[in-house]
């Protein structure tokens, strides 16, 4: 099996796993990943993570031309923005997971640090998550907002919409977006209870040991 064939199978398998655990639903969410030749594989528009056909993934060449497969997700602007600005990005995952979206609607949601440091794993896998304002889905302005962050964030949260996370591989990007949803769930479960966050010194210790999120 070629490297691209393995990547196609991995995207479909991870998508099914996300779908079956309710981390995205219906035809929501999209995944993209770099191919060995510098191109992209992207989940098609209107497709369900529960029923992806690896052979029908949208294929882009290294120049960004759509050269095969079904029509890509309308959220291409946010994927392209991450690849253009985030060093080492090899995959991007965007979901509509419920706890992240719920947390983004609350008035106390922190625009500069959306995922509270309740565990070391959110620090390790996500770093500081930027909460962006509401955009109409598919709006090119989403891409412009991500470019404006100049690659400083591995993850952003689109208010009332869902998280977008980049990783070096599709597996690492999926792991990170799952961590973001788990962190949002913890934040909602402990809301109003005076939960203790990691101290700045503890966050620094984790960052020093594990470095910038991939």
Q: Report d(CA 88, CA 212) in Å as an integer.
A: 11
Whether 75 is a known active-site residue: answer yes
Nearest to 119 by CA among 15, 210, 20, 21: 210
Helix (H, G, I), strand (E, B) or coil at 130: strand
Per-residue pLDDT of 115-125, as tens digits, reads: 999 999 999 99
User: What is the per-residue pLDDT for 1?
Assistant: 67
Q: 75, 178, 179, 181: which is the annotated catalytic residue?
A: 75
- Asked if pLDDT for residue 211 goes beyond 90, the answer is no
Alpha carbon dihedral 28, 150, 171, 182, in 10-degree steps, equals -60
Q: Where residue 112 sits, what CATH number does that domain have?
A: 3.40.225.10
**Cα–Cα–Cα angle for 4, 65, 45, nearest 5°?**
75
Asked if residue 95 lies in contact with residue 18, where contact means CB atoms within 8 angstroms, the answer is yes
Number of domains observed in the structure of the chain:
1
Whether 121 is a known active-site residue: answer yes
Residue 114 is part of which domain span?
A: 3-210
User: What is the per-residue pLDDT for 2?
Assistant: 87
Burial of 82 (0-12, 13-18, 19+ CB in 10 A): buried
Q: 4, 83, 121, 171: which is the annotated catalytic residue?
A: 121
Per-residue pLDDT of 116-172, as tens digits, reads: 999 999 999 999 999 999 999 989 999 999 999 999 999 999 999 999 999 999 999
């Amino acid at each position: 099996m070629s490297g691209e064939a393995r990547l196609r199978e991995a995207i479909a398998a991870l998508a099914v796993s996300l779908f079956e655990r309710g981390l995205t639903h219906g035809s929501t969410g999209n995944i993209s990943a770099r191919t060995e030749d510098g191109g992209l594989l992207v989940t098609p528009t209107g497709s369900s993570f529960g029923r992806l056909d690896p052979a029908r993934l949208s294929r882009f060449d290294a120049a960004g031309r759509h050269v095969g497969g079904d029509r890509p997700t309308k959220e291409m602007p946010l994927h392209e923005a991450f690849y253009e600005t985030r060093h080492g990005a090899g995959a991007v995952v965007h979901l509509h997971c419920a706890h992240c979206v719920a947390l983004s609607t609350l008035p106390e949601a922190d625009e500069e640090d959306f995922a509270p440091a309740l565990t070391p794993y959110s620090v390790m896998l996500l770093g500081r998550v930027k909460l962006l304002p509401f955009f109409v889905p598919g709006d090119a302005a989403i891409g412009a907002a991500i470019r404006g962050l100049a690659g400083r964030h591995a993850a952003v949260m689109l208010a009332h919409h869902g998280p977008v996370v980049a990783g070096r591989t599709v597996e690492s990007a999926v792991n990170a977006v799952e961590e973001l949803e788990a962190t949002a769930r913890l934040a909602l479960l402990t809301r109003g209870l005076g939960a203790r966050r990691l101290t700045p010194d503890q966050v620094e210790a984790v960052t020093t040991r594990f470095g910038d999120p991939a």
